């Protein structure tokens, strides 16, 4: 019996935890910017798995690297060494200008790892009294779903009912350097912040914010931890979003597109001082740094840089944003973004972004609403002009009330 979309959806509803409310599209295949559902309908992917598929779906070079490595060796654990890990370190460190690398799997694990390392650095290097380390975070942050991380979320859905939470975090408004300065104490060890708040709705801070934050972190010996898990690896038209601000973080977190969507791979990148505090037995992961992950990540980084995807993100992102800004729609409040990380914010009277995402789905464009009134558009970085033109032909009638 052939199963149709409705059958898969019913089965999922019956057996799965309902911790997501996906669009009712059941995907079976992907190639580049396109995905197909089980009935063979084609869609333009404008989410890219929350920016994990920056290189496009099933990129052949990453696939080949994965298959080749999977035939040789997949997992050794870190009890032994493997021939891919050192090369992954070398390539990612050279590309990003980092001194030390800690490989993990999911984004949330990279965030947790950074919190551990920075606290330990605070005690051993900065001289903070034991148990007193504080990390400053921003309101409306999104850094993942573990207990520690949701404990410093300000989103009631993310944190409600999951306490008690870990202490040691202070929340300040995003984009307000004076508020950040006021929150710094002698026990502040780190400032964990997204260069652009992705899940909050592609929120771009005011010009000069990060320059000032960098100065304050340096002046007060506070580690600047930039969570580039979503903004990094070409999404904003630069390798790292920090480049738009003309600053360098002390610790950078990457994940998602580090594997081109093939496998969960994340990493903490830092100078020697911060990751240098971790000694054998103090941190680890069975799968972190495994040869399959490293081979996939090496290929994903090569593809990103050698195939001009970062430049394409800048060029096509500007084109897409310009086209969206030109829409004559009375429901669109603002179009904003950097590179191919784009948000279309609707007026509250439009009745929420979800219904427009469903209308776009019916026309073959998959996009995700975020925070009620915002449609996020973040296609794979391999998108071309013709595909953006085609997307606009679908988006225009939906946002101008023609359908
Ligand atoms: C900025 C940021 N940090 C961390 C995460 C968590 O990554 P993961 O879902 O791989 O744990 C995400 C995921 O959306 C993210 O956008």
Residue 87, classed as helix, strand or coil, is helix
pLDDT of residue 1: 79
pLDDT computed for residue 403 by the predictor:
60
Residue 269's DSSP bridge partners are 101, 252
Measured CA to CA, the distance from residue 59 to residue 234 in angstroms comes to 16
For residue 176 and ligand 1, the question of a CB distance below 6 A is answered with no
d(CA 31, CA 177): 43
Nearest CA to ligand 1 atom 13: 144
Three-state SS string over 179-221 comes to: HHHHHCCCCEEEEEECCCECCCCCECCCCCHHHHHHHHHHHCC
Catalytic residue among 256, 368, 369, 373: 256
What are the residue boundaries of the structural domains of the chain, listed by start?
1-30+312-334+360-403, 60-306
Ligand 1 centroid to residue 254 C-alpha, Å? 9
Pocket test for ligand 1, best of 138, 142, 196 (most atoms within 8 A of CB): 142
CATH number of 1-30+312-334+360-403: 3.90.1150.10
- As to burial, measured by CB atoms within 10 angstroms (0-12 exposed, 13-18 middle, 19+ buried), residue 393 is exposed
Q: For ligand 1, pick from 53, 105, 107 the residue to mutate: most ligand atoms within 8 Å of CB.
A: 107
As a whole number, the mean pLDDT across the chain is 97
Q: Return the pLDDT at 402.
A: 63
Ligand 1 contact via 391 beta carbon (within 6 Å): no
The residue annotated as part of the active site, out of 37, 45, 176, 227, is: 227
Expressed in angstroms and rounded, the spacing between residue 143 Cα and the centre of ligand 1 is 5
Low-confidence ranges of the chain (pLDDT < 70): 402-403
pLDDT of 271 reads 85
CATH 3.40.640.10 fits 60-306, yes or no: yes
Residue among 104, 108, 226 whose CB has most ligand 1 atoms within 8 A, to mutate: 108
Count of all residues that appear for the chain in the document? 403
Contact call for residues 371 and 363 (beta carbons, < 8 A): no
β-sheet bridge partners, residue 242? none
Residue 266 forms beta bridges with which residues?
A: 104
pTM exceeds 0.95, yes or no: yes
Ligand 1 midpoint to CA 382 (Å): 22
Residue 326: alpha-carbon gap to chain centroid? 28
């Amino acid at each position: 019996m052939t199963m149709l979309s409705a059958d898969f959806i019913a089965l999922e509803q019956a057996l799965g935890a309902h911790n997501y409310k996906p669009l009712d599209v059941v995907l079976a295949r992907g190639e580049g910017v396109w995905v197909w559902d089980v009935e063979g309908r084609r869609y333009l992917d404008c989410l890219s798995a929350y920016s994990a598929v920056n290189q496009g779906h099933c990129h052949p070079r990453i696939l080949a690297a994965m298959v080749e490595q999977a035939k040789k060796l997949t997992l050794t654990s870190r009890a032994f060494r493997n021939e891919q890990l050192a090369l992954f370190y070398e390539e990612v460190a050279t590309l990003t200008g980092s001194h030390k690398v800690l490989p993990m799997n999911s984004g949330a694990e990279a965030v947790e790892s950074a919190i551990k390392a920075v606290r330990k650095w605070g005690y051993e290097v900065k001289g903070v009294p034991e148990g007193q380390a504080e990390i400053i975070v921003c309101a409306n942050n999104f850094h993942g779903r573990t207990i520690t991380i949701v404990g410093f979320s300000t989103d009631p859905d993310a944190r409600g009912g999951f306490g008690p939470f870990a202490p040691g975090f202070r929340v300040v408004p995003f984009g307000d350097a004076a508020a950040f300065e006021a929150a710094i104490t002698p026990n502040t060890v780190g400032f964990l912040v997204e260069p652009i708040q992705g899940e909050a709705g592609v929120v771009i801070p005011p010009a000069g914010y990060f320059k000032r934050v960098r100065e304050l972190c340096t002046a007060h010996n506070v580690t600047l931890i930039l969570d580039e898990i979503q903004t990094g690896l070409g999404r904003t038209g630069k390798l790292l979003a920090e480049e738009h601000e003309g600053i360098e973080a002390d610790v950078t977190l990457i994940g998602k597109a580090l594997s081109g969507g093939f496998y969960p791979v994340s990493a903490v990148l830092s100078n020697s001082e911060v990751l240098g505090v971790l000694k054998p037995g103090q941190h680890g992961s069975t799968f972190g740094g495994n040869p399959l992950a490293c081979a996939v990540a090496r290929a994903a980084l090569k593809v990103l840089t050698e195939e001009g995807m970062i430049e394409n993100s800048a060029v096509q992102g500007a084109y897409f944003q310009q086209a969206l800004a030109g829409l004559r729609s009375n429901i669109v409040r603002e179009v904003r973004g950097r590179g191919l990380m784009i948000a279309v914010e609707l007026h509250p009277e439009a009745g929420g972004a979800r219904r427009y995402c469903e209308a776009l789905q019916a026309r073959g464009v998959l996009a995700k609403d975020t925070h009620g009134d915002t449609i996020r558009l973040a296609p794979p970085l391999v998108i071309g002009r013709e595909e953006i033109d085609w997307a606009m032909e679908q988006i225009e009638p939906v946002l101008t009330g023609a359908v």
